[in-house]
Structure 1
Amino acid sequence: MSFGQGGPEWGPGNGGGPTPDWAALADESARRHSRRRRRALVGAGALATVAVAGIVAVAVAGGGDDSGDDASSSLPSPEKPSEGPGQPEPSFKEDRPPAPPQDFLNDPRKDTAPLTEKTLFPDEIAAVDGRRYARVSTDASPECAPGAVGGLRPVLAANDCQRFLRATYVRQGLAFTLGVGVFDSKADAAAVKSGYQPNVASLPGGNVKDFCRSVTCRTTVNSLGRYAFFTIAGHTDGKPAGDADEPAKQAALDGSAYGYERILQRGKDQSAADAAR
């Protein structure tokens, strides 16, 4: 039996009038129920699909497994900022202690500072243990013989004296002349000290006339590095200075101490300059 667009066709009923075709209605109802059920199943499947997609999205966005790999591990790691031009490494000046002054005083290859009467005898006043002596004259010569008298001249020549410098200082009627001979080695200067014969020639100047020329005076000799140094001390009025003349003896010793100090200072200055380079 077929149905029109308005519904099922009606057939004759028991009362003579048209009655519904119950069998057709039952079939139509069954078909409608089946269609509704299929639509419900399709809708439920779609909802299930959306729910699963949501779970997966959450898992990808914030979940992870026990291996420690997560979504962030699959992303490229941030690039390390590129470093700019390298900073210069700090540099440190090598600190070294100054060499002993004798290293310079012993070796002419190192002992190269200017050597004149002004650099060796720069002080107008030589102070030794509170005793003050005024400088009155200085002298320097490449020839050693003019600065020596008596037995000192041949001793200087035998050891190849290269230069001779002198200075005279005066105090309370006493004067000393300090003479410094320069040699090529410490051994030469030591040989002069051991073979010493008097003496350095006194050097007059200012109000100090010739002294210790023809009278007894006090003398000393010593050496330091390649330098040998000598003093002669006496009275400026020409009075002899014998063995018992303690003031004249003290003046000679003071002159020797001042000479030692000046030569040693020369070595110290060169040592300090070398360490500062």
Structure 2
Amino acid sequence: AGAVAVAVVSANGSDQASDGPSSQLPTTADIPSATATEPSFAPTSAPPPLDPKDFVSSVKKDKAPLSPDLLFPGTQLTMGETVYKKGPTADTRTCGSAAQGTLPKVLDTNKCTRLIRVTYTQGDTAVTVGVAVFDSEAQAVKAKKDADKKSIVRSLSGGGVKSFCTGAVCRSTTNSYGRYAYFTVAGFTNGKDVTEKSTGVFRAGDDLAEFAFRQIRRRGEAQASAAAEG
């Protein structure tokens, strides 16, 4: 909430009235009107900036184009000193078909409208990121809450990326921001199981989850900036 400054400005200097008899006061016609008086206080500060998260929390405000290549641009991703090669992408309106375990029910129950997936690889490690789109933030938060350890996005292979996480033990993550819930599943393309010692897989999953969050946030920042300028 912005503070509003209020000041009372006299129509004419009151010192003149106290220095001489009333006959020396100017006539009514000579007294400047109050509306013509310049304010004697500094203008109030600018209104608070628009909250970027508001623009990605509701389908009514989140109007920017959306596609796998817009959300995950380029052919590779650098996080710290690690370079991940971008693999296949997918975009489906039937969210449950791109998920497995308990996740299809979670997405359908909370009325997921779209599920965008992309796979990144680094050596024999592969990560699929799935971004589920809902109409409201409340639905995305509920989906995150409803998800459990068996709520897993379906891994996406092809285009030079071998099948992974179809029978082996893999590591998954779940989170949400605005009206988006985002999931990762990370594992090995050679079919090995992920263990607690598979630090590279854990790091890859965390890196891609962080990147998904940043991209959704940037989407909100871009729309907030455009709204402020226009």
Query: TM-score of the superposition, structure 1-length normalised?
Result: 0.64
Matches for 1:90-105 after TM superposition, within 5 Å: 98-105=49-56
Does the CA contact (< 8 Å) of 1:98 and 1:272 recur in 2?
Answer: no
Q: Does 1:183 align with 2:134?
A: yes
Give the structure 1 partner of residue 4 of structure 2: none
Give the structure 2 partner of residue 160 of structure 1: 111
Q: Deviations over 1:15-57 (max 9, x none)?
A: xxxxxxxxxxxxxxxxxxxxxxxxxxxxxxxxxxxxxxxxxxx
Q: Deviations over 1:186-226 (max 9, x none)?
A: 11111111111320000012221210010101111000001
Taking only aligned residues, the RMSD between alpha carbons, in angstroms, comes to 1.3
Give the structure 1 partner of residue 212 of structure 2: 259
| Paired residue secondary structure (1:255) | helix
Matches for 1:38-117 after TM superposition, within 5 Å: 98-117=49-68
Q: Deviations over 1:39-88 (max 9, x none)?
A: xxxxxxxxxxxxxxxxxxxxxxxxxxxxxxxxxxxxxxxxxxxxxxxxxx
Give the structure 2 partner of residue 211 of structure 1: 164
Does the CA contact (< 8 Å) of 1:168 and 1:205 recur in 2?
Answer: no
Q: 1:238 aligns with which of 173, 183, 191?
A: 191
Q: 1:196 aligns with which of 124, 143, 147?
A: 147
Deviation of the 1:275 alpha carbon: 1.3
| Paired residue secondary structure (1:212) | coil
| Paired residue secondary structure (1:168) | strand
Deviation of the 1:97 alpha carbon: 5.8
Query: TM-score of the superposition, structure 2-length normalised?
Result: 0.76
Does the CA contact (< 8 Å) of 1:137 and 1:168 recur in 2?
Answer: yes
Does the CA contact (< 8 Å) of 1:98 and 1:274 recur in 2?
Answer: no
Does the CA contact (< 8 Å) of 1:97 and 1:275 recur in 2?
Answer: no
Q: What residue ranges of structure 2 are gaps of 5+ in the alignment? A: 1-45
Deviation of the 1:177 alpha carbon: 0.3
Letter in 2 for 1:102: K
CA, structure 1 residues 137+97, in 2 after alignment: closer, same or farther (shift >3 Å)? farther
Q: 1:119 aligns with which of 64, 70, 83?
A: 70
Letter in 2 for 1:147: A
Aligned residues: 183
| Paired residue secondary structure (1:115) | coil
Q: Percent of counterpart pairs with the same letter?
A: 39
In structure 1, distance between residues paired with 2:219 and 2:47: 20
| Paired residue secondary structure (2:152) | coil
Of structures 1 and 2, the one scoring higher in RCO (CA 8 A, sep 6+) is: 2
Q: 2:90 aligns with which of 139, 142, 150?
A: 139
In structure 1, distance between residues paired with 2:184 and 2:59: 24
In structure 2, distance between residues paired with 1:276 and 1:162: 30
Q: What residue ranges of structure 1 are gaps of 5+ in the alignment? A: 1-94
